[in-house]
Structure formats: C-alpha cells, structure tokens
C-alpha cells in the first residue's frame, strides 16, 4: 500500500513559501506512489483530499485574540492559559479526525511547529504526536527566534514545548545552514537541510497569448527597460536599494516595477519608497492590483496576471533583501533566465553564492561599480545570455527536483522504517 501523507499547516493557499514548497513536495512524493492529503485553516487544495478546519487558520478570531495577549508582554493570566489549552484540545480532536478520515500513516508538518503564528495549533500537534507516535517530518521555514516580534512573549513554556517539539519520531528539515546550526544549538535536535527547489528539469513554457502583452498592460513601451522587484513591500526586502540602483543608471528608459502589495505591515514603508523615488526621479510603478495568484479580470476589465506571467518579460530582477530564510524570488529569476542583482543577505552569502551563480552583487548598499555591472548586463546581449544560461545550469544542479527527490526518498524511508518505540 502506498504511503498516505498528511500535510498540516495553518494555510495551504496562494503563493506564500509554505504553500508553494509543500505542493512541490507533494508532486515529488506522488512519483514515489505516496498520496497527499491536506489539513489547514485555509485551503485551495482538492476538496476530496482535504480537511479544512477554519479554527486552524492563524487569522481565526480566537487565535487573533490570543496573539494580542501573548506577544510583547511577559505575563499571562490564568484565563488566557485555559483558552490556549482548550483551543489546542479542540484542534487535537480535528487532527485525530483528519488522520482517521484519510487513513494517514505519515505526517508532514509545514511550519506549524516552527513559527508561532498559531500557538494552540502547535501545542495540539505536539500533543497529538506524543499520543499517537505517528511518524512525522517537520519542515521548518522560519523559526520564532529569527523574528524580533516574538522575542518578548508570555508563552516561553509553550514555545519550548512545541516550537519545535522534542519528539523521538519527528524528523526535522530546515532550508538553510544557519537554521540547522541554530536548531542544534538551541534545542539539541539534528536536522536535514533541504533547500527550496524549482523543477528546472522542465523549463518554463513559451509565453502564451494571454501573457503576450504584459508590458503594454503595465504601461511600458517597447523602448523601456523593465526592472522587476518581485516581492512584497516590506522593509526587509530593501527596496530602497533598487531605487538607488535605478537612480545611478540615470536613464528614463529604466522603469522599476514592484509586483506585490504592502500587506499587513502597514503603508509607511510604501509611502517612503514613493517619496524616495520622486526625489531621485526614478519611474517607480506599483502594480499589485494587476498581479494575483491566478489569472483574472479586474473591475475595470483589465487583465490580471500571475507573477510567472510577468517574469519572462522582465529585463532584470532586483533582489536587495536584507534577510531571507532562503530566497525563492532569486531561484525564480534564474528559472526564467532573467539576470538578477542580489544583496548578500546571510543565507545567500553562506548557502547560495558558493554554488557558483553569476550575478551583480551588492554588500549592503549600491555602488557605482554595481550599477555599471548592471548596465553591462542589460546592454551587452551576449554577456547577459551567457550569464543566464550558466545560472540555469547551476540551478538545475543544486536546486532542481532531483535534489528534493533524493532527500524525500531518504526521509520517508527513515521514518516509515523506524521500529515501534
């Protein structure tokens, strides 16, 4: 009988890193004759293989109420403790229902015992594992100790217990070397490093009719140079450096386009960027209303594109992030053979750069030398094509599905073959 894998998280929907990477894992597991089933509070997976529990979503009202009272303070009152534990008890019962309904024999927990966006769910998963001894893998994308906003809290006991739990049958997977070392140092837990991947073995299809007019739809002329910042507008993305780069290029044909919105972190940073661009005389365009998870038409009858519709039309991708757990946008640029300028954020410098990618690099700030390297990439076609073809080969070697396929085969073999305790 093929293994029946249960994926668990707060959300499997949209284009966040957890949702994207979990689907890639499921695709590779399907090649190994494993069926995947989905448990979350927000889902866009097939209904016949999913169990949606709204209370498991981090945006559920009770969880929001709890989060407002446990972060930024160091004491919690008894009622709060009781509500967390009662909530966890309910969620644990739904985990039992999920595993019974789909006859799950292996769990893959996607970030739900990693970053404490939903503390009751993490507690529920920890208790469920302890009570069932079900073989499980915890795929960790970003730990709570990597986020300043979680440093002052009223739940240190629960974080120690459940984020992540110390369970002898739970195998831990991290996405970068720093996380592997931090997990060992802080929790004494070994882990396996599996980077985020893209199916380089299957190149992107040619641009179809729907996406053929992306540039015109975004207001770009044939003579414009399309510089894409394919991220949300949050401070850690370092978008001010992209503006500085375009300013140094000093040519009105260079247009900086930001694909995503500010999100739930407020609009102060967005407003600052807009003002900075005006002062620098940089043509900055916010196009988040024209980009979504799926193709559609907006209220004005205009096309809405996916990010993957847009990549093939970009002349350059800017990725000046100050911090990333990995760097999916970097890999996506490599996959679509678009040159990319990168800031040496920690994980890039340690994990990705040594693989041998060729791209303009900045060390915390943009210099004229960086700008001139970018200008050469944009204006020297032969140089650019050699660069992107080289990068695609490197990406296929280190970040293709073959890497994930080997790693998952080993993980599944380990946990399914583990003897009863």
Cα–Cα distance between 360 and 358 in angstroms, integer? 7
* Fold of the 4-197+401-416 domain: Rossmann fold (3.40.50)
Q: Which two tokens stand for residue 265?
A: 């972190």
Side-chain half-sphere of 349: how many Cα atoms within 13 Å? 12
Cα–Cα distance between 129 and 124 in angstroms, integer? 9
Give the residue carrying structure tokens 């991220």.
231
Comparing CA positions, the residue from 398, 403, 392 lying closest to residue 351 is 398
What are the two backbone dihedrals, phi and then psi, of residue 147, each rounded to the nearest 5 degrees? -120, 120
How far is the CA of 155 from the CAs of 71, 80, 90, 309, in angstroms?
Answer: 8, 10, 19, 43
What are the two backbone dihedrals, phi and then psi, of residue 152, each rounded to the nearest 5 degrees? -105, 120
Domain ranges of the chain: 4-197+401-416, 214-398
Asked if the bond preceding 209 is cis, omega within 30° of 0, the reply is no
Model pTM score: 0.90
Instruction: Give, for all 421 residues of the chain, the pLDDT tens digit.
Output: 348 999 999 999 987 889 999 999 999 999 988 999 999 999 999 999 999 999 999 999 999 999 999 999 999 999 999 999 999 999 999 999 999 999 999 999 999 999 999 999 999 999 999 999 899 999 999 999 998 889 999 999 999 999 999 998 899 999 999 999 999 999 999 999 999 999 999 999 999 999 999 999 999 999 999 999 999 999 999 999 999 999 999 999 999 999 998 765 668 999 999 999 999 999 999 999 999 988 999 999 999 999 999 999 999 999 999 999 898 999 999 999 999 999 999 999 999 999 999 999 999 999 999 999 999 999 999 999 999 999 999 999 999 999 999 999 888 888 776 444 4
Decide whether 4-197+401-416 matches 214-398 in CATH topology. yes
Convert 103-124 to b/e letters by CB count within 10 Å (16 or more is b). Answer: ebbbbbbbbbbbbbbbbbbbbb
Q: Which two tokens stand for residue 90?
A: 């309910």
CATH-assigned architecture of domain 214-398: 3-Layer(aba) Sandwich (3.40)
Q: What pairs with residue 11 in β-bridges?
A: 42
């Amino acid at each position: 009988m093929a293994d029946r894998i249960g994926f668990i998280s707060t959300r499997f929907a949209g284009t966040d890193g957890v949702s994207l990477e979990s689907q890639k894992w499921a695709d590779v597991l399907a090649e190994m004759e494993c069926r995947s089933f989905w448990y979350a509070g927000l889902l866009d997976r097939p209904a016949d293989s999913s169990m949606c529990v709204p209370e498991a979503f981090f945006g559920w009202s009770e969880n929001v109420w709890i989060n407002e009272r446990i972060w930024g303070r160091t004491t919690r009152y008894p009622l709060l403790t009781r509500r967390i534990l009662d909530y966890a008890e309910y969620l644990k019962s739904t985990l039992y229902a999920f595993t019974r309904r789909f006859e799950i024999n292996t769990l893959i927990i996607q970030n739900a015992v990693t970053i404490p966006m939903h503390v009751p769910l993490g507690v529920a998963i920890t208790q469920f594992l302890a009570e069932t001894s079900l073989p499980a893998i915890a795929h960790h994308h970003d730990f709570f100790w990597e986020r300043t906003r979680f440093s002052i809290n009223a739940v240190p006991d629960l974080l120690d217990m459940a984020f992540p739990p110390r369970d002898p049958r739970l195998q831990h997977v991290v996405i970068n070397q720093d996380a592997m070392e931090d997990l060992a140092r802080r929790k004494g837990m070994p882990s396996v490093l599996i980077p985020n991947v893209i199916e380089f073995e299957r190149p992107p299809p040619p641009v179809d009719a729907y996406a053929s007019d992306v540039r015109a739809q975004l207001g770009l002329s044939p003579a414009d140079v399309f510089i894409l910042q394919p991220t949300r507008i949050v401070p850690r993305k370092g978008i001010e450096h992209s503006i500085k780069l375009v300013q140094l290029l000093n040519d009105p044909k260079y247009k900086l386009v930001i694909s995503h919105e500010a999100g739930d972190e407020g609009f102060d940073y967005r407003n600052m960027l807009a003002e900075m661009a005006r002062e620098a005389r940089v043509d900055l365009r916010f196009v988040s209303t024209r980009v979504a998870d799926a193709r559609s038409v907006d209220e004005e009858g205009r096309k809405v594109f996916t990010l993957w519709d847009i990549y093939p039309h970009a002349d350059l991708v800017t990725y000046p992030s100050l911090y990333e757990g990995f760097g999916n946008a970097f890999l996506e640029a490599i996959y679509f053979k678009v040159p990319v300028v990168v800031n040496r954020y920690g994980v890039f410098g340690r994990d990705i750069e040594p693989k041998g990618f060729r791209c303009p690099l900045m060390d915390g700030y943009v210099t004229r030398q960086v700008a001139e390297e970018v200008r050469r990439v944009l204006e020297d076609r032969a140089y650019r094509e050699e660069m992107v073809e080289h990068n695609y080969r490197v990406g296929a070697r280190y970040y293709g599905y073959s890497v994930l396929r080997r790693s998952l085969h080993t993980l599944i073999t380990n946990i399914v073959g583990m003897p009863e305790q």
